[in-house]
Chains A and B, each alone.
Chain A
Amino acid sequence: MPTIEQQPSGLEKSKVTFKGFEEWTKANIDKAKAKFNEFKESLFSSERAGITERWKDISNNPEAKETLVALARLGINIGFTVADMIPGAGEVTETGLNALKMAGTIYAPLRDLDPTKSLSATETIAVQALTSPVELASLGTAPTYLINTIRQTWADYKAGNFSKAKEVVGYLITGNRDYYDKLKENSSKLDAAAGVLKK
């Protein structure tokens, strides 16, 4: 699979038809050759770029950014679920998060900080109220926040926020190494294909 960097968006919104493609190619093929040969040094390999550049790439790609945010949200929610097993700490956290959610209804930017942003304030407060007897019975050790974690994770999954997780994280950590490895593995097949098409 090509990585994020390899998905230019120039044509995304165009309706793809290929009438006149031949004319365009004929007119531009020499220009393309010249352009391809113009650059002697390969700057493309993101392996050379640091993580900061790759982070910038991801920040500029809304889909990739949403993936990272969803992963961060999952990590935070797992942390809160674990914290919920500590008597007292879970209740403070849940009450704090509900307060944040309520504040988010008044001041919109706060919604971005909400780790259960797909759930309404009514839902989370209802979960906290309904699970109170369980919390009391377990002396605050029951991780009832798990309900919120599961519901938020499911909402992110349904929204497709995890579909590119492997690709995005892989790109952030290794750049295009995977792409170049695959390119190397398939080099003879690709050379053969280019040979057929050049005729």
Chain B
Amino acid sequence: MQKIEAIKTLLEFSLLFSNQVKVEIVNNLNRFTEPEITSLGKLLAIEHENRSSLDEATIKSYIENFSKTYGKRQ
């Protein structure tokens, strides 16, 4: 399985991104650099491996953290 396909597979079940952002990610995957693909892939793999210990509070705080960091970059 190629990295891009693997990202799409995990993204479908990911709780880290809203559906809208998931669509944006999938539509832009071809424009990602190799390191960006690797980073996103690692993030999704971590999420998958820790899925059983995820809870709503974790996800919310993680998303908030992402939003703050992401917002500063805009």
A contact set with B: CB distance below 8 Å: 2, 5-12, 14-22, 24-29, 31-33, 35-44, 179, 182-183, 186, 189-198
- The chain B residues found within 8 Å of chain A, CB to CB, are 1-3, 5-7, 9-10, 13, 15, 17-21, 24-25, 28, 31-33, 35-36, 38-67, 69-71, 73-74
13 contacts between A and B (CB under 8 A): A8-B18, A14-B74, A16-B25, A17-B74, A21-B32, A22-B35, A27-B69, A33-B46, A43-B57, A44-B59, A193-B10, A194-B6, A194-B49
A contact residues around B65 at 8 Å (CB): 28, 31
15 new A-B contacts, CB < 8 A, other than A22-B38, A35-B58, are: A8-B18, A10-B67, A11-B18, A11-B66, A18-B28, A18-B31, A28-B66, A29-B42, A36-B58, A38-B58, A186-B9, A186-B13, A193-B6, A197-B38, A198-B41
A-B contact count (CB 8 A): 156
